Structure formats: C-alpha cells, structure tokens
Amino acid sequence: MCGIAGIVYKNHTVVKEGTLRKMTDKMSHRGPDAEGFFIKENLGLGHRRLSIIDTSESANQPFHLGDKHVMVFNGAIYNYIELRNELEKYGYTFKSTSDTEVLIASYDYWGEECIKKFNGMWSFVIFDSAKNKLFCSRDRFGIKPFYYFVDDNQFIFASEIKPILEIQKIEEVNTKVLLEYLIVNMSEQSEQTFFKSILKLLPSHSLSYDLINHSIRINKYYDIEFRKEINDLNLEEAGEIFEKEFEKSIKLRLRSDVKIGTALSGGLDSAYVAAIANKVLAEEENYEKLTAITVGSIDKASDESELSDITANALGIEHDVVTPKSSEFHHTFEEVIFKHEEPFGGISVYMQKFLMKEANGLGIKVLLDGQGADEILLGYKSYAVAYMKNQNFYQKINQLHKIRKHYSISLLEAGGMYLYFSLFFMRKLRLKMRGEILKKKYSDQIDFKEIKGVTKSYRDIFELQKSEIFRDLLPELLKWEDKNSMSYSIESRLPFLDYNFVEICLSINNKFKIKNGWSKYILRKRLEKYLPDQITYSTRKIGFDAPTEHWWPRSEDIIDTINNSKIIQEISKKKFNFITDRSLEWRLYNIAVWEKLYNMKIEK
C-alpha cells in the first residue's frame, strides 16, 4: 500500500525531482518506509512506499523491468504467488518475492489484459517505453484511488488530491458535485470531484496516455456477471459455496509480511471476518492470536463494545477497545476534514479514524474490515423494499410487519420507507423539499435523472446492487476507508469485496439473503456455528454511529460558521437560525470548514 504521483509536461519541459517530491511529501503518510523517483525528460513518476509484502529494498519503487517498463503501484495483488508460478513457466525470473514485480511482469506478458488476471486492489501507472505510453488502472471496485488533472499543458495524477494541488492551484468548487452532496447526499456518482477540473478514474476502468500525441483513452474492463448456476442452488448448497469462497478470500488477504489485525463491531459482517480469519490462522503452526479492534462510544445507545466482547470471547481472540473522548474529537476535527480532501457524509467517519489510529498504535499494518457486505448481501433497509417490489399485496404486508420487527421501526415508518424507495415522485418530492434552502438558480441545477435511474433499479435487485457497488453508495464508503486507513499507514483489506465472492453473492437466490424479514440471512446461518444467537440474530444495526450529541452538540458557533461561508451565502436563500435535520446541518458545516481549509470559491 503506497502513494503514487506523476507528471507529463506536454510542451516537453523537463520534470524536476523537486517537483515530484513536493507531490509525494504531501502523502508521506501513505508510504513512510521509502520514496523513489523516475524521470525521463517530460515524464516524471514518484512513489511513497508502505512495505507489506517483501519489505526489503528490492521491492522499492518506481519498479523497473529492465529498460522496458517502469511502474508506480498502490495496492495489493493477493494472488501474486499463483501468478508468479504461472509466469515462471513462461520463462520469467524474479529478484524479489513482491507482488509489485509480479504485476509488472504480468503486464509485460499479457499486456493491458493483465488486469483481468488480478485478484486484489490497485491503482498503478506503467510507463511502457516501447509503446511510449502510460497504462493506468484502478481495481474493479475502486478500493484504491486514482485522481488526475489534464489541460493543454500537463497531465498530473496522484493517489490523493493534495499532491495535484501542489502543482496546479485549483480553488473553484464543482457546483454540480457540491449540490448533489448537499441535497441528494451523494457525491461519487461520476468521475467528477468537488474540485473543478480534478477527475478520478472510475472503478473497473483503465486509462492509456499516449506520450506522443497526448491523447487519452479510457476503457471499462469489468462488470459483474449473473451466474445462473449459483442462483439455482438450494440454501444448503448456496451456504456451502458462500463459506468456501469467503474462506478463499480471507486466506488470500492474510498474505503479509507484517502484523495483521481486524476491525470488530457488534454486527454480523466484522464478526464473520473475525471468525473465518481466526479459523484459517488456527490451522497454521505457531500462529499468533488475531487482534480485533473495536471503537466504543461514550453514548451507550450507540456503543457496540459489549456485543463485540461477546464475539471476541466466543472466538478466543485478543480484543482491544478504544473509546474516544469528546476532547479527542475536537482536537482532530479540522485535521480529518483536511485529510479527507472533500466533504463527507457525517461524523461517523471519525469513529473509523480512531480505529485506524488505534491499529497503528498496536503496530498493526494490515487490517481486515467488513466493508461491502451490506451491498452484496442486501443488508440495508432499502433492499427489503426492492425485495417486496415483485411480491403480491399479502406478501408485501407480511414483509412490512417483519421489517418493522427486525429493524425496530413502526409499521407506519416501514410503509413510508417502502413508498420513498419504490416511488420516484415520492423521493423527488422529498429532495425538492430539502432543496428549498437553495436559490432557484441552484435548485434548478439538481439533476433528478440519476435518482430516477436508481428508483427504477429497485425493480431488479441485481441491477440495484450493481448500481450501489459501482456508483451510488460503496464508492463513498471506500473513499473514506482509504483516507482514514492511509492517514495512519494502515493497509485496509476487504474480504467481502473479493470479486469472485461478489459475483457469487449477487447470483445467490435473493430469498436466501432476505428470509422471514431477516436481512443477510445466509450470513446469519453460517455464523450460527461460530457465535451465539445474541450476535447472529441481533436486530441492532449501529455501524460506527458516532455520539453526535456529545461530540458535536448544537451551538451558535455551528450556525455562525455555516452563515459565514461565502459558498453557502451564494447558494442559500437566507441565513440559518436553526436546522432541524442534523445530517443536513453537518453537510452545510462540513462545506463551510472545507471552504476555509482549501480556500474554495464558487463561480457566481
């Protein structure tokens, strides 16, 4: 896991090492173990290394394959051992035991098609000297970031936005993304970022940059395929292949030359990760006990430490609980907003930040996490609505009663949830009401086509899940995961997002994912043999909820900060006195603080 950066000057100005170092210094947290640079006239590549596999200097980057290719790489190719064995049969020899060397050799043999061979997470750039081009790629689900800026003079790329800002001063906000974030509460639906003219390579996409004519070609190389043979399995058969593939995913993600830990909440996803990881490790000789980390809350209503204790004790693993105080939140408040570079959804992001900080303090450099399980196993309430869409009236009513019970909400709330997620005009009406805070000039800019498309996808759960994975929800969660983990030099590995496992889960019959009102039913069934029903059939779904009223109570300072924002003054109809919706209040406040930290402006 690392940080990559690079520049191409179109006017053939020679790149200076000092310029590259300015970029890589801005993300030294991503790679504290080594740095390196490659310059060839108007092309420059920079790298910061976090050593995970083969910690020797032989795996430092930029990595050269003779005089043919030079690469900077951020991520991990988990199946590198299998690929290395295959490449050795084709005559390749290796000087290191790293996945980095396997990646560049794979490109040399398979060309751009090599990315289809990889099981992992990545963002890399390869300079192909023979073809005089850069080949750039981002992993299937966008776990690792790739930002870039291009104009008539230069092409700049990096793992974060701040390095690009070191070279190209950009202070104008992307109004479209800002409004989507504020009103729709989504910001990752396209290649655009909050910074005008800074783009991101989308998940499952590659980018080729021709160094002769400076043209760019972007290609989508992957999509999730529905597998009918999986859909035809019964519950027992589906459960067996589910656990078998998940165990494979865990085994691959335990490949490391440094200490590994796991995140542990009171929920199902992280409990299953811990259970299977513990099972796999126990099969090894002289294995070290797995360490699980939980972030407790000073608000008992959102505290998960008691439930996570039950899981840790049942599995016999080490358990570390950290409970951040309000003072710790305030001490790092602006620091987190600055590190995240773009406004984010809520202060629960800070809970994950404290988890990563604790992992770093324990000497853990690789952390397993349960991200992605809700998206692939119908874990959110909204998926229950999609499941009901094709049921008859009686079945819908029956399902609503079960949802009410398992999600601890009233029947009226359950019915409202069904109408909101299944009817476009209901969702549009609610968003328009939220958008009433805006001047007409800005409320008219909100494009409801995206929302209409999402609502339509509720008719087909497979398409809905793909939308959530590639565009709507998961990309935001992965962005926050990357920023938080890399801020503390932690490589976060996500076994639920092994692409083979994802394809299987999306193809499993939906009646095994939602059954008798229980979400993620197939996961609960597999957990039964590892954990008590208190965990396996818990109806609580907290998910890193922060103690908002303790950390961020209502205050005049919050309202003043919002009202003093030049951006909010421009887009809002009037000044605010009281904001009922605390989630909206956070987004407004986040914009105001971000505006100050990055000196952002909005075009009037």
**Residues identified as active-site:** 2
CA 553 from chain centre, in angstroms, equals 28
Residue with tokens 């996808």: 457
Residue with tokens 């996961």: 523
Residue with tokens 């655009």: 192
Query: In the Cβ-directed half-sphere of 329, how many Cα atoms lie within 13 Å?
Result: 21
Residue with tokens 């040399």: 108
Query: In the Cβ-directed half-sphere of 438, how many Cα atoms lie within 13 Å?
Result: 23
- Residue of 125, 109, 121 whose CA lies nearest to 208: 125
Rg (CA), the chain: 24
How many CB atoms are located within 10 Å of the residue 71 CB?
24
Give the burial class of 90: count Cβ atoms within 10 A of its Cβ; 0-12 exposed, 13-18 middle, 19 or more buried: exposed
**Is the distance from CB of 176 to CB of 166 less than 8 angstroms?**
no
Q: Which residues of 117-141 are buried (b: 16+ CB within 10 A; e: fewer)?
A: bbbbbbbbbbbbeeeebbbbbbbbb
> In this structure, which amino acid lies at residue 259?
K
- Residue of 300, 293, 355, 302 whose CA lies nearest to 324: 355
Beta bridge partners of 74: 123
Assigned token pair, 587: 């987004």
